[in-house]
Structure 1
Amino acid sequence: MPTPPHRYRSEDEDSGRWTGFPFRSGDIVISTRSKSGTTWMQMICALLVLGTAELPGPLNELSPWLDWLAEPRDVVYRRLAAQPHRRFIKTHTPLDGVPLDPRVHYVVVARHPLDMAVSLYHQVGNLDRTRLAELTGRPAGPARERLPVERWLASWVDRETDPREELDSLPGVLWHLGDAWARRHEPNVELVHFDDLLADLEGEMRRLAGRWGIEVPAGRWPELVEAATFGRMRERADQLAPDSLGVLRDRRAFFRQGGSGQGRDLLDASALARYHSRTAALAPTDLLTWLHR
């Protein structure tokens, strides 16, 4: 008997919503940690699947976040059932928390954990917590004083936590990526590095199209690649930011920087050494070599 998926829950997510989901052959599940390239990969999938830079609707409606408690599960299921095109579905759940179907493709995007953490820090400051509490039916709680990003990042590196309880912690990030790394040779699992998207966006898009059996006319590639660049996506923030329910204070700020190396630059030598010591205890060497290159 296959092991049932682990159930991950947080204030606004529940991976149990995947239970009973009726997959179709060819579905693509986008599994990422927060601020690791989720929306970027959703856009790449939209461009490859639909074959046009002019999307027929907001990106988060074309590619719903199935685990998110702000929308009723049945509403999300109905929207996906009505889609005539090949579906590409967002989740922040590790692959051990999602039903694994041999007919389905799974893509996991990895980003340097320090860069991911800095983006997460700024994202939290951009959330309307009162609106999010209204949508999930949970109390917003008192506002907390925010540390400067340098101090917060150092404390994030040092914090001990259960990786399955706090997936956006350093142990949680490496738990998510370690699970995907162990599955990387499976024919329907694909790992993508955020820095590879920065360095060779067209090459990565062509590679994914080949892996997923998507044919793109040769003359269409320049348009699709341009539409997937970070700058172009930021210009289209109103259509592409995951905010149909009004949880972001500023949609353009969602696409804040999209660079690489910012996290390492914020830590002093001692904190950076602690980071490398911690990651060495949390993940296999070959994964860390790939992740930190």
Structure 2
Amino acid sequence: MGGASGPFRHRSFDADSGRWDGFPFRDGDIVISTRPRSGTTWTQMICALLIFQTPDLPAPLGRLSPWLDHLTMPRDEVYALLARQRHRRFIKTHMPLDALPVDRRVTYIVTARQPLDLAVSLYHHTTNIDIGRMRELTGNDLPTEPSAARKTLRDWLLDWISHDADPRTNPDSLPGVMRHLGGAWARRGDGNVLLIRYEDLCRDLEGQMRGLADRLGIAVPESAWPTLVRAATFERMRGGADRYVPGGGIIKSGTSFFRRGRPGAAEEILTGEELAAYRARVASLAAPDLVAWLHAPGGSGSVRLQDRR
């Protein structure tokens, strides 16, 4: 992923991929690598349900599946927390694969979401972050107000589509999102890299959970599936938001964290001409087969769980 020189190091005001350097992986570890607002918490929850096989999780999701590169918790604390875990570990990151160590014992899950819907969710998410609390936990000088709050959603979205950002230093830009997904797409034939599409989780949650269990080698009793699938629905997770949102008090409202949960938000905002401009823009940033898969209708897009090419 990182080539001969090793992983690319990404640092921001709240995260540092260098915290992965020297991390002692175990056989069977799972790393969940997503852009924010792409279904990270949903994927964590699904992994938790498959591993523990009960909705009654033994701890809050953020403790069971810590965000290793996030600066809100000291690195040594995160390492110690993971070292104490005796269950199969599943670790969160928003880093792309080329910023992470390569380990054949690890399964890397990358969850993709239609970028426009991701952007709409990101716009709303910025106003739900407690900037003061984030500054307190990281010790870094953060923005005093969310940039998205300065513009209407439509204007911000149009700027997001057209902005020619450096994808390495602006990973939440459209080029950054496509770089993250493009790196995973290029490695989709590897036996330990799985791509999951948010829209397919919406369309067929049980089928996607069964497929993921199969690829992770987790046997689930047939009688347990209805309970596990219900526990992974958007409605159930929103109802238990305080146990699932990232910890540390950085999220103002747990229910707002689970704001909508269904595809199509951007299409309700932009005109046909603006959507065409988006399609042209995204086509310039990624391989045609990735773009087609990412934007396929919910009924025809397939999770890359069975693709072992």
Report whether the alignment pairs 1:117 with 2:81. no
Q: Counterparts of 2:143 and 2:196 in 1: how far apart (Å)? A: 36
Q: 1:3 to 1:169 in 2, by over 3 A?
A: same
Report whether the alignment pairs 1:134 with 2:136. yes
Decide which moves more: 138-147 or 281-290. 138-147
Give 3-state SS (helix, strand or coil) of 2:91's partner: strand
Q: 1:50 to 1:182 in 2, by over 3 A?
A: same
Report whether the alignment pairs 1:256 with 2:259. yes
Of 239, 243, 258, the residue aligned with 1:239 is 243
Q: Counterparts of 1:274 and 1:11 in 2: how far apart (Å)? A: 32
Match of 1:78 in 2: 80
Match of 2:211 in 1: 207
Q: Which amino acid aligns with 2:279?
A: H
Q: Which amino acid aligns with 1:199?
A: R
Give 3-state SS (helix, strand or coil) of 1:43's partner: helix
Task: Say whether the 8 Å CA contact 2:44–2:92 is kept in structure 1.
Answer: yes
Q: Counterparts of 2:204 and 2:155 in 1: how far apart (Å)? A: 33
Of 29, 32, 38, the residue aligned with 1:30 is 32
Of 191, 197, 200, the residue aligned with 1:187 is 191
Q: Counterparts of 2:150 and 2:229 in 1: how far apart (Å)? A: 38
Q: Which amino acid aligns with 1:217?
A: P
Deviations along 1:144-163, one digit per CA (max 9) or x if unpaired, are 55211111101110111100
Q: Give the TM-score normalised by structure 2.
A: 0.93
Match of 1:173 in 2: 177
Q: Counterparts of 2:150 and 2:91 in 1: how far apart (Å)? A: 33
Give 3-state SS (helix, strand or coil) of 2:250's partner: coil
Task: Say whether the 8 Å CA contact 2:60–2:244 is kept in structure 1.
Answer: yes
Deviations along 1:148-205, one digit per CA (max 9) or x if unpaired, are 1111101110111100111100000000000000000100110000011001111111
Q: Which runs of 5+ in 1 are unaligned?
A: none
Distance apart, 1:274 and its partner CA: 1.7
Q: Which amino acid aligns with 2:201?
A: L
Correspondences of 1:144-155 after superposition (within 5 Å): 145-155=149-159
Task: Say whether the 8 Å CA contact 2:134–2:250 is kept in structure 1.
Answer: yes
Q: 1:141 to 1:168 in 2, by over 3 A?
A: closer
Distance apart, 1:141 and its partner CA: 3.8
Match of 2:304 in 1: none
Q: Which runs of 5+ in 2 are unaligned?
A: 297-309
Q: Which amino acid aligns with 1:130?
A: G
Decide which moves more: 156-165 or 265-274. 265-274
Q: Counterparts of 1:51 and 1:149 in 2: how far apart (Å)? A: 40
Q: Counterparts of 1:24 and 1:142 in 2: how far apart (Å)? A: 40
Q: Which amino acid aligns with 2:46?
A: I
Q: Which amino acid aligns with 2:276?
A: A
Task: Say whether the 8 Å CA contact 2:13–2:141 is kept in structure 1.
Answer: no
Q: Give the TM-score normalised by structure 1.
A: 0.98
Q: Which amino acid aligns with 2:233?
A: T
Decide which moves more: 145-154 or 116-125. 145-154
Distance apart, 1:133 and its partner CA: 0.7
Distance apart, 1:3 and its partner CA: 4.1
Of 159, 165, 168, the residue aligned with 1:164 is 168
Q: Which amino acid aligns with 2:222?
A: A
Q: 1:6 to 1:268 in 2, by over 3 A?
A: same
Q: Counterparts of 1:86 and 1:62 in 2: how far apart (Å)? A: 10
Q: Counterparts of 1:209 and 1:260 in 2: how far apart (Å)? A: 24
Q: Which amino acid aligns with 1:185?
A: G
Give 3-state SS (helix, strand or coil) of 1:282's partner: coil
Report whether the alignment pairs 1:106 with 2:108. yes
Q: Counterparts of 1:285 and 1:141 in 2: how far apart (Å)? A: 36
Give 3-state SS (helix, strand or coil) of 1:174's partner: helix
Task: Say whether the 8 Å CA contact 2:154–2:270 is kept in structure 1.
Answer: yes
Give 3-state SS (helix, strand or coil) of 1:165's partner: coil
